[in-house]
C-alpha cells in the first residue's frame, strides 16, 4: 500500500484539486486509488461526484458510532472516496483528541484492506497545520511522500523559506526523503511566472517535483460539474500534467525505487 499526503503551503494553492485529480489519474493507469479527506472543510468530495448536500463521511460516522466503511463510496470514474463528512465546528481542530482517535481508527481499518489483486494507493488531502500537530506526527511520518503544493509567486516564496528554515517536521521529512513540492497554477506565458519557477528549481533542486501543474481554466469548469479533469477535459494540458504526476508517483514509489 502506497501512502501520499497532499497539503497546500498556504490557503488557495490547490491541494484539494491535486489530491482528487491525482487519485483519478492513478485509476486511469489501472491502480486502485482511495481518496481520503482529512480536512474538515470536506471539499474533496466535490471534485469526485458526491452531491453537495450529502453530509456522509468517515469522521461524521465515527461521531455517530457507525463504521467508516459505510461512508465510502465510488465515484462515477472508479475512484474510491472517503469524505470527511459534516462535523460541528467545535470538533474541527486537528489538535482535538477525538479527531486523532478517529483517524487512528480509520488507519487501522484501511491497513486491513485486501491487496491480493491490486496494490492500493491512499491519497490523503490534509492541512498544512496537520504536519505540525504533535498528535499526528506518526501519521505524517508514515507517508511515502508528502506533497506540499505551492504557487510560483512572491507570497508563496516567502512562506516557503520560513517553513523550510524553521519547521522541525520539514527537516525530518527532508532527511527521510519524503518531502516534495508541486508547483501549481503555473503560467509560462508570464515573465513573473517563469522567473519564480527558475528560482524554485534552483533553490529546491530535487525537492521540486519535475511535474508542473499548469493553470488551466478547464480545472475550474470540471469542479463545477463535480468531475475530474481527466474525464471532463481529457485532452487538456492539466489532464496531461496529472497523468505525468501519476507516473512520477508510480516510478518513485515503487518497491525498487522507494529508497532512492
In a domain, 260, yes or no: no
In a domain, 15, yes or no: yes
Q: In what order do the strands lie in the sheet with 179-183?
A: 73-74, 80-82, 32-37, 120-125, 2-8, 145-150, 179-183
- Report the candidate in 200, 171, 163 with the shortest Cα–Cα distance to residue 183: 200
In a domain, 259, yes or no: no
Asked whether the predicted pLDDT for residue 225 surpasses 90, the reply is: no
In a domain, 112, yes or no: yes
Asked whether the predicted pLDDT for residue 258 surpasses 80, the reply is: no
- Contact predicate 144/253, CB 8 Å: yes
Q: Into how many domains does the chain fold?
A: 1
Rounded to two decimals, the pTM is 0.93
Work out the mean pLDDT of the chain and round it to a whole number.
89
Looking at 21-30, 99-108, 112-121, 213-222, which range is the least confident one?
Answer: 112-121
Please state, in angstroms and as integers, the Cα–Cα distance from residue 169 to each residue in 38, 101, 157, 204, following that order. Answer: 18, 21, 19, 17
Cα gap 243→168, rounded to integer Å: 32
Q: For residue 155, give the CATH number of its domain.
A: 3.40.50.300
- Estimate to the nearest angstrom the gap between the alpha carbon of 92 and the chain centroid: 19
- Estimate to the nearest angstrom the gap between the alpha carbon of 103 and the chain centroid: 16
pLDDT confidence of residue 68? 87
pLDDT confidence of residue 174? 95
Mean pLDDT of 1-26: 95
DSSP state of 55: -
In a domain, 257, yes or no: no
Query: What's the number of CA atoms in the CB half-sphere (13 Å) around residue 51?
Result: 4
Asked whether the predicted pLDDT for residue 114 surpasses 70, the reply is: no
Could you report the per-residue pLDDT of 35-58, keeping only the tens digit for each? 999 999 999 999 998 888 888 899
In a domain, 125, yes or no: yes
In a domain, 258, yes or no: no
DSSP β-ladder status, 179-183 and 32-37: unpaired
Taking CA 132 as the corner, what is the angle to CA 126 and CA 138, rounded to the nearest 5 degrees? 80
Taking CA 161 as the corner, what is the angle to CA 159 and CA 165, rounded to the nearest 5 degrees? 120
DSSP state of 82: E
pLDDT confidence of residue 53? 83
In a domain, 226, yes or no: yes
Report the DSSP beta bridge partners of residue 80. Answer: 34, 74
DSSP states along 86-126: ---GGG--TT-HHHHHHHHHHHHHHHT---SSS-EEEEEE-
Mean pLDDT of 229-245: 93
- Estimate to the nearest angstrom the gap between the alpha carbon of 141 and the chain centroid: 15
Within 10 angstroms of residue 129's Cβ, the number of other Cβ atoms is 12
For residue 169, the enclosing domain spans 2-252
Amino acid at each position: 500500500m502506497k501512502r501520499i499526503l497532499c497539503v497546500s503551503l498556504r490557503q488557495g494553492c490547490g491541494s484539494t484539486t491535486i489530491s482528487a485529480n491525482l487519485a483519478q489519474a492513478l485509476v486511469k493507469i489501472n491502480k486502485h486509488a482511495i481518496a481520503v479527506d482529512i480536512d474538515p472543510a470536506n471539499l474533496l468530495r466535490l471534485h469526485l461526484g458526491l452531491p453537495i448536500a450529502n453530509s456522509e463521511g468517515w469522521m461524521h460516522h465515527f461521531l455517530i458510532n457507525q463504521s467508516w466503511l459505510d461512508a465510502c463510496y465510488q465515484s462515477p470514474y472508479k475512484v474510491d472516496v472517503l469524505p470527511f463528512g459534516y462535523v460541528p465546528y467545535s470538533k474541527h481542530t486537528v489538535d482535538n483528541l477525538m479527531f486523532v482517535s478517529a483517524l487512528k481508527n480509520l488507519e487501522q481499518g484501511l491497513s486491513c484492506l485486501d491487496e491480493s489483486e491490486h496494490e492500493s494507493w491512499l491519497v490523503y488531502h490534509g492541512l498544512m497545520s496537520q504536519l505540525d500537530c504533535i498528535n499526528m506526527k506518526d501519521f505524517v511520518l508514515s507517508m511515502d511522500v508528502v506533497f506540499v503544493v505551492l504557487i510560483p509567486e512572491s507570497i508563496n516564496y516567502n512562506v516557503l523559506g520560513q517553513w523550510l528554515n524553521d519547521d522541525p517536521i520539514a527537516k525530518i521529512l527532508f532527511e527521510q526523503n519524503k518531502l516534495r513540492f508541486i508547483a501549481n497554477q503555473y503560467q509560462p506565458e508570464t515573465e513573473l511566472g517563469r522567473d519564480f519557477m527558475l528560482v524554485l528549481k534552483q533553490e529546491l533542486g530535487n525537492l521540486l517535483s519535475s511535474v508542473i501543474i499548469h493553470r488551466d481554466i478547464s480545472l475550474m469548469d470540471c469542479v463545477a460539474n463535480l468531475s475530474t479533469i481527466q474525464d471532463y477535459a481529457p485532452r487538456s494540458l492539466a489532464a496531461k500534467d496529472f497523468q505525468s504526476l501519476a507516473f512520477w508517483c508510480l516510478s518513485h514509489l515503487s518497491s525498487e525505487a522507494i529508497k532512492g
